[in-house]
Copies of this chain bind each other. A is one copy, B any other.
Amino acid sequence: MNVQFKKGVLELCVLALTAKADRYGYELVHRLSETLEIAEGTVYPILRRLTKEGLFTTYLAESSEGPPRKYYHLTTKGEQYLADQVREWREFYTSVNQVIEEDASP
């Protein structure tokens, strides 16, 4: 998996998954690993940063299978930011595909 492709997009994926339901870090790592290869050391800094920026609130919940989980909940500000990012992402990959296809089949 091309590491460079992921830049900035992982943040978008974390936001998107958390919009569907509150998530905890470990869960996000494993969910995202199914399709995109992603490391723990990548996810936690993103969560910290986005929480600091007010896009997430957090709360702890006990688990029967290990230490308590820190859940992340998307704020209203987070939802707006996510919507913007999704729009930008769509514009972006459409542009890239135009450049590629322009070339692949002229």
Residues from chain B with a CB closer than 8 A to the CB of A98 are: 35
Interface status of A85 (Cβ within 8 A of chain B): yes
- Stretch binding the partner chain, chosen from A3-11, A50-58, A60-68: A3-11
Chain A residues numbered 66-93 whose CB sits less than 8 Å from any CB in chain B: 85-86, 88-89, 92-93
Which residues of A, 24-73, contact B by the 8 Å Cβ criterion?
A: 32, 35-36
CA distance A64 to B102 in the complex (A): 28
Name the residue among A17, A89, A99 with the largest chain B CB count within 10 angstroms: A99
Given contacts A8-B2, A16-B103, A102-B20, contact A36 B96 (CB under 8 A): yes
Chain B residues contacting A35 (CB-CB under 8 Å) are 95, 98-99
The interface residues of chain B lying within 8 Å CB-to-CB of A88 are 1-2, 5
Q: Flag if B89 contacts A100 (CB, 8 Å).
A: yes
